Structure 1
């Protein structure tokens, strides 16, 4: 079933998927009238799942196996953010999970009813729990746990279970992560033409 909001919003994504899969079926679902809103420059991998009230901005990358469930809450992902493979994002009923611009959620991370501010980096397999907030340009280390209602200040590095701030970010962190983020924005542009299913 076609669940695009209108033909202008999803036409680009449908044509990309058709080129890869041989059809235009999308991993995108409405739920009880809640419909995804996806910028045509975003890339959603064919086996990712987008459900309900989910908004994806420009050049957002959603990797294979990611699940974004806006079934009874809403999810917003800002321009240029990378939702890597296996990430799970959800929100509580009538509440919201917000991912800012140019954020990066590493492979297998989980974000539940939280706020991730612009340029933040969530490490692989990290968990960001209900009502917590990760500040602008903050970095959560791999496997870290941001507890319910925990605030991670902007421009800090936080590690552990639960995470504790261990220092401030340095210019080399910004340079390295800016480079990595541009790689994923580039993939959102390159996959439509370069990815070809061969089985």
Structure 2
């Protein structure tokens, strides 16, 4: 990872977390245990504090940033999809933010809620627990079922396992010029319910 201290504050990464080498961490960033931070993610703690709590994942090309004296937080087991932007907001425990969604300053997404892909959550928005939040500007559409929350939790466990796999097995290599005969496939972990996908 590319890591910079700023104004005497150095990013903190728990040893059990995986942060991809192309991710950038600046200043007041705290990444907790069993987190996953994907390629090209940017966590800029140059104004406010950036926090990923235990088991959270922040996928490829996500951005976390905030205004001075703000905290941008993904609580325990939060799940942030590819390309999402979080700015000075709080994502509740076990919540999911979909791909390319934007969540603005002082917005709070309740625990076990889903923000749909490409949603725009305005500053100051308050989302109740276990709700589906969609649109631009986003609004609460309905409550989520326990089955839907369970589907999300399985996906988050996949990313917690991915953090472990990457720490143990990922290495820089040169590409092959052609596939090997009988090339194996990366196997399904078995953590997701049958028929689901993230």
Q: What's the TM-score bracket when you normalise by the shorter of the two chains?
A: 0.7 to 0.9
Pairing 1:41-60 to 2, within 5 Å after superposition: 41-60=16-35
1:72 maps to which residue?
Answer: 47
Segment of structure 1 superposing worse, 187-196 or 53-62: 187-196
Alignment TM-score, normalising by the size of structure 1: 0.85
Give the deviation of 1:73 after TM superposition: 1.1
Larger radius of gyration: 2
The match for 1:170 is 145
- Of 53-62 and 170-179, deviating more is 170-179
Q: How many Å separate the matches in 1 of 2:137 and 2:152?
A: 23
Count of equivalent residues: 174
- Matches of 2:169 and 2:71, distance apart in 1: 34
Residues of 2 paired with 1:180 and 1:103: CA distance?
11
1:69/1:89 contact within 8 Å kept: yes
Higher mean alpha-carbon deviation, 126-135 vs 89-98, is at 89-98
Indicate the SS of the match to 1:173: helix
How far the C-alpha of 1:98 sits from its partner, in A, is 1.4
Runs of 4+ in 1 over 2 A off after TM superposition: none
Quote how far apart the aligned CAs of 1:45 are: 0.1
Give how far 1:161 is off.
0.4
Structure 1 CA distance for aligned equivalents of residues 108 and 78 of structure 2: 13
- The equivalent residue for 1:139 is 114
Residue of structure 2 aligned with 1:160, choices 135, 140, 164: 135
Give secondary structure in 1 for the equivalent of 2:22.
Answer: coil
Give the SS at the match of 1:40.
coil
2:187 aligns with none
C-alpha deviations, 1:58-86, integer Å up to 9, x for none? 00100001000001211111000010111
Flag structure 2 segments of 5+ consecutive residues without an equivalent.
Answer: 175-198
Question: What's the C-alpha RMSD, in Å, of the aligned pairs?
Answer: 0.9
| Residue 123 (str. 1) matches residue 98 (str. 2) | yes
- Give the conservation status (yes or no) of the 8 Å contact 1:28–1:51: yes
1:194 corresponds to 2:169: yes
Bigger share in helix: 1
Normalising by structure 2, we get a TM-score of: 0.86
